[in-house]
Structure 1
Amino acid sequence: MQVFKVVSRVKVQGERRFPFRVVGLAPGADLYALARAIVAAFDFDFDHAFGFFDGKNPYRAQVAYELFKDMEMAQGPQRAAPPHVPAPPAPPAEAQLALMLLLETVDRHALMRETAAFLARRLEEELLPHAPERLRAALAGQLRTFADGLLLDEEQDEGSSLPPQIRERLAQPGGLDAVLGQLQVVGPVLSGPGLLGPGLPTGREEHGVKGVPATVPFGRQATWTFLFDYGDDWTFDVTYQGLQDAPPRVRLPRVLDALGTAPQQYPDWDA
C-alpha cells in the first residue's frame, strides 16, 4: 500500500498539536482517491471541489492538480450562446486570476483588521444579549480574539508581485478586463507575453486529479498542500511516506495512525 501522512493546518482549541492522519492507499490509486481518503480520514463530507498545490498558498502555487481541470475537460468545447441568452459565468481559473490581481491592489492586512473588527461587533450584537451581565465584558474580549484568529493572516507579508504598469491599469475604469486580456487567459493557463514583470508568475502548470497516480506530484517535492472546499479553504500538508506491506485482509484506503481531534467541517454555532 502507498502511505501518506496528512497534517491539518487547523488546530482544535485546547489541543497542543495539529491533528494528523496516516492513510494507506491501494497501489495505483489516483489523486481523486487520495483526496477522498483524506476527507474521510478527517470525518468530512466529500461534497466540495479540491486540489493539490506545490506551495503553502494554493492561490499562488506554480503547479496544481485540481478537480476543476477534470470538470473543464469533461465539459469539452463550449458553443457560443445565442444573443438573447445571458453569457455564462467566468471559468473558475479566470475568476481566480481576477481575484489574485485585485487583492494585489489593496492593503490586505488593513482590510482584514477592519473586517475582524466588524465581525467582532456583529458577534457582540448577536450573542452578548443572551449572556449574563457579569460575563459580558469578558465575552466581548473573547469574541474579538476569536474574530482576529479567524481572519488575520499571521504569515509574513510577501509584498506585491505586480509590476507598476499593471497596478496603474487596474486602477482605471475597465482596467481588470484590460489586464486579463493582456495576460491572455486560456482556460486556467496564462500565456500572455510581455506584460508580466519580475516576481509575477508567467503561468501555472495545471493538471486534473482523475487518472493521475497519487504518487506523481511527490516525485517533484516531498510535501504538497491539499485544499478542500474553496471558500472555507480547509488546508492540509500531505507527505508521501513510501510503500509498505498492507495488513492481511484489510480494505484500503485505511487510516493507519491518527493524532488529535479533527476540526468540525460544519460547526454548530448554536450549540
Structure 2
Amino acid sequence: MSDAPKSHGRKAVRLSPTPRELMTEAPVLARAWTAQVITLFPDAFPGVLGLSLTGKALQEGKWQLDTVPLRDFGEGRHRNVDDTPAGGGAGMVLRPDVMGAALETARRNIAPAAPILYLSPRGRRFDQSVARQLAQTPGVTLICGRFEGLDQRVLDHYGIAEVSMGDYVLTGGEIAAQALLDATVRLLPGVLGNAESVEEESFSHGLLEHPQYTRPATWQGLEIPPVLLSGHHGEIEKWRRAQSEEITRVRRPDLWEAHQKAREQGK
C-alpha cells in the first residue's frame, strides 16, 4: 500500500494532521491550494476538473489535486472497506478503521487549517458563500461517500462537517466533489482571466444574474435590448440591476427575501 496520494498537480507539502471545523478562517498561502479527495474511484479524477479554466490552472500549479484511493486502506485479502449496518438494515456502511487510516495518511499531506468535508445529502447546503470561504483556506480534504454512508464515529472523532449539493441522492460523492471543487477553484487568484466576471455573476450579490446578449444584433426576429447598445454605462447598469432583481424575485423567492432583509439591515 502506498502512503502517498495520487497527485494531479504539484507535490503536496507534508505537514502534521490537525482536522478543523468547516470554514476555518485562514490567510491565503503562497503554496498551491490543495484539494484532497478520498474515494473508491480515483480514476474519476480530475474528470471535468482537468478541462477548461480549472484544468489550465491545475497544469499551471495554481491548485493541486490529490486523490486518496480508499481501497488501498481496506482490510484483508479483498481490501474490504465496508460492513453491514449495526442494528440491521439494507446496504453497507464504510468502516471507521478504514476511513480513519485513509484520513490519517491524507492529513499528513495538507495544511492543518484545511477543513475536512464529507459530501452527504444531510449536510449544510453548499452555496456560493461556502465556495468563497473555501477559496480562502489552504485547501480541503473531501470524503466521497458510498453505499449507505460512513460510520458516524469518524465524523464525530475528526469533527468533520457534512456538505450537501442539493436535496437529492447520488450513488456516491465523486460528482458532488467535482462540482464543489469547480465552484471553489474558479474563485482562486489568477484562475479566471477577468476578475470582474466573478463579481457580476449569479449569487455574488445575493441575486441571480441578469440576461446576457451578444452579436448578431438581431436573431430570429429578436433584438438585443436597445439600452445595451446605447453606450450609456449608467443606464446599462440600472437595467441589469433591475433585471437581476426581477428574475430573483420571480424564480427564487427565498433569495429575494434574504436580499430584502440584507438591504433593510444595511440602511
- Specify if TM > 0.5: no
TM-score (norm 2): 0.24
TM-score (norm 1): 0.24
